[in-house]
Amino acid sequence: MKLSELIHDLPFGFDPFIGDVELTGIASDSRSIQPGYLFVALTGGVTDGHKFIAAALERGAVAIVGTQPITGLNVPYLRVENSRYALPHLAAAFFGYPARKLTVLGVTGTDGKTTTTNLIHEILKAAGYRSGMISTINAVIGGEKVDTGFHVTTPDAPDVQRYLSQMVAAGLTHAVLEVTSHGLAQHRVDACEFDVAVITNITHEHLDYHGSFEEYRSAKARLFTGLKSTFPKTQGNPRKAVLNRDDSSFDYLLQISTGSSISYGFAPDADIRPMQVKQTVDGLQFFVNGKGQEFPINCSLLGDFNVSNCLAAIAATVFTLGVSPEAARLGIANLQSVAGRMEHITLGQDFTAIVDFAHTPNALRKALETARQLTSARVIAVFGAAGLRDRQKRRMMAATSLELADLTVLTAEDPRTEILDDILGEMAAGATSNGGVEGESFWRIPDRGEAIRYAVSLARPGDLVIACGKGHEQSMCFGEVEYPWDDRIAMRAALCEHLGIPGPQMPYLPTQGRQ
């Protein structure tokens, strides 16, 4: 594509430039630049992208986009007001505006995004639609799964648009996107032309980045205020907001949303409600009631929070896109599990072992409440709190565990460049504040592998051991190094050692051997 073609319909202004070139790609990371690429210098992050213009040119960039006045370049330079805002629109233009050829559903919230995204995707497939998905675990495009990275975040704008273009090329008609607050605040999903916006909940999280709960909520709200700008599509524009009637965000999102809305939840005045909810070790059973319809749902997932996730998916598909209740029943039944979400690890032990991604105060509370329903014996929780992230939740999560679990093991969870002992100290203070006694009701064990081993060693017949915080993730960060790590492998290793049977080796972390 010619640069002159790329900029033809952009929704922002730029300074005049001289020259035209053929473009072969677009990137905002100079290390990803290949010959013929357009390099977009981003500002407002950890580093200033303008510092890497020279490196991008050395790697073959043939045009530059930035915000600073720059002269003397031997390639075209587009100066814009906000390069982060410009990037997704440039990427969408480069890939031929793929979202305009798809029905796009976006799912945001603090907890439950990945599960709800998967539920919607399965329902759409069961209804006969050709659906693709982009989650924080992977992208699914025509049966192919693509890894989207180490840690939980929305992919960068060029990657999002590339995935969407691949969906169009594969003949897909629908796309479901899991959308994080960082992705919204940093404009990564601008130009995704959302037709349906879904909220799971908004609770305490990421205040280290957003600064306040109000700013965090405002970032989430961009998914809903953006419905008005969705490009008209030949297949129609539902422009529907799917809101959680049980969540504190409901009134705020109802007021600011630019589309029509539908609500779900346990509240009597929710449009879509669950009836006769039953939970067993095999999953959930309930009836969906609303808008003159009632139909049963059987779900293999556990916890009342997954009733809410199912309702959100049903509201977005059955009651917004016109999918049949039978397709919703089949799609939800087809989703046997979501990686690292209340995932059972069973190797013949006489107690229950679960790995869950719960890494926020609300998610930990919900996970432990569900654990309580799954056993009449003791609940033993293992978790940590990330370094360089929201410090308030460290004490909150420890206090929550002392309230709901019988025994708590505090350990590492991506300490990054913070001192792990300091993080554990803050968590221990939260545990103590809620009546915890170190060495009796809670322990500090820096090495996560050893912590899981210890929790397993404490388990009696009928107990439940749950490791929270990492879920599906494949690495843990110490300093600036990502060490390969998977809680599910660690739990299997600990169980095999406990049972005296062959199994995987406990993954290595730099804390190994510390007491």
Q: What would the 3-class secondary structure string for 36-60 be?
A: CEEEECCCCCCCCHHHHHHHHHHCC
According to the model, what pLDDT value does residue 486 have? Answer: 97
Give the DSSP H/E element, type plus range, for residue 220. helix 213-225
Instruction: Tell me how far apart the terminal alpha carbons of the chain are, to the nearest angstrom.
Output: 59
Other CB atoms within 10 A of residue 18 CB = 8
pLDDT at 98: 98
Under DSSP, the state recorded for 371 is: H
3-state secondary structure of 273: strand
The pLDDT value recorded for residue 513 is 82
Strands 283-290 and 273-280: antiparallel
Q: How many Cβ atoms are within 10 Å of 437's Cβ, its own excluded? A: 10
Quick one: DSSP state of residue 412?
-
Sorted by where each begins, the domain ranges of the chain are: 3-83, 98-269+304-324, 343-499
The CATH H-level superfamily of 3-83 is: MurE/MurF, N-terminal domain (3.40.1390.10)
Residue-level pLDDT, tens digit, the chain, 515 residues: 999 999 988 999 999 888 899 999 999 999 999 999 999 999 876 789 999 999 999 999 999 999 999 989 999 999 999 999 999 999 999 999 999 999 999 999 989 999 999 999 999 999 999 999 998 888 999 888 887 654 546 789 999 999 999 999 999 999 999 999 888 989 999 999 999 999 999 986 655 555 688 888 888 999 999 999 999 999 999 999 999 999 999 999 999 998 899 999 999 999 999 999 998 878 999 999 999 999 999 999 988 899 999 999 999 999 999 999 999 999 999 999 888 999 999 999 999 999 999 999 989 999 999 999 999 999 999 999 999 988 999 999 999 999 999 999 999 999 999 999 999 999 999 999 999 999 999 999 999 999 999 999 999 999 999 999 999 999 999 999 999 999 999 999 999 999 999 999 999 999 998 75
Let me know: does 360 contact 388? Beta carbons within 8 Å: no
Does residue 139 sit in helix, strand or coil? strand
Q: Which of 418, 359, 426 is nearest to 399 (CA)?
A: 426
Fold of 343-499: Protein-Tyrosine Phosphatase; Chain A (3.90.190)
Q: Are 167 and 211 in contact (CB under 8 A)?
A: no
Cα(296)–Cα(276) distance, integer angstroms: 10
The phi, psi pair for 37, rounded to 5°, reads -85, 155
In CATH terms, the superfamily for domain 98-269+304-324 is Mur-like, catalytic domain (3.40.1190.10)
| Residue pointed to by tokens 């404009």 | 187
Give the separation between CA 394 and CA 432, rounded to whole angstroms. 12
- Give dist(CA 182, CA 125) in Å, integer: 28
pLDDT tens digit sequence for 254-298: 999 988 999 999 999 999 999 999 988 789 999 999 999 999 999
Q: Which two tokens stand for residue 9?
A: 């319909």
What's the confidence (pLDDT) of residue 210? 54
pLDDT reported for residue 150: 47
Neighbours of 142 (CB within 10 A): 13
Q: What is the DSSP letter of 62?
A: -
CB burial readout 24-43, b (16+ within 10 A) else e: ebbbbebebbeeebbbbbbe
What angle (nearest 5°) sits at the alpha carbon of residue 289, between those of residues 292 and 299? 140
Task: Give the dihedral sign, CA 320/322/324/327.
Answer: negative
Residue 149 has a pLDDT of 58
Rounded distance between C-alpha atoms, residue 352 and residue 372, angstroms: 12
Report the predicted TM-score, pTM, of the whole model to 2 decimal places. 0.86
- What per-residue confidence (pLDDT) applies to 508? 97
Fold matches, 3-83 and 98-269+304-324: no
Instruction: Give me the helix-helix angle, 304-317 and 113-126, nearest 10°.
Output: 50
At 219, list the tokens: 């970032």
**DSSP of 299-367, one letter per residue?**
ES--SHHHHHHHHHHHHHHTTTT---HHHHHHHHHH---BTTBSEE--SS-SSEEEEE---SHHHHHHH
The pLDDT of residue 209 = 58
CA distances from 238 to 1, 105, 223 (A): 32, 10, 14
Q: Is the Cα dihedral 119, 124, 125, 127 positive or negative?
A: positive
DSSP conformation class of 226: G
3-state SS assignment for residue 83: helix
CB 169 within 8 A of CB 163: no
Do 219 and 108 meet the contact criterion of CB atoms below 8 Å apart? no
Task: Copy the structure tokens of residue 36.
Answer: 């013929």
**The pLDDT value given to residue 179:** 94
Cα(290)–Cα(293) distance, integer angstroms = 5
Please report the pLDDT score of residue 301 as a whole number: 94
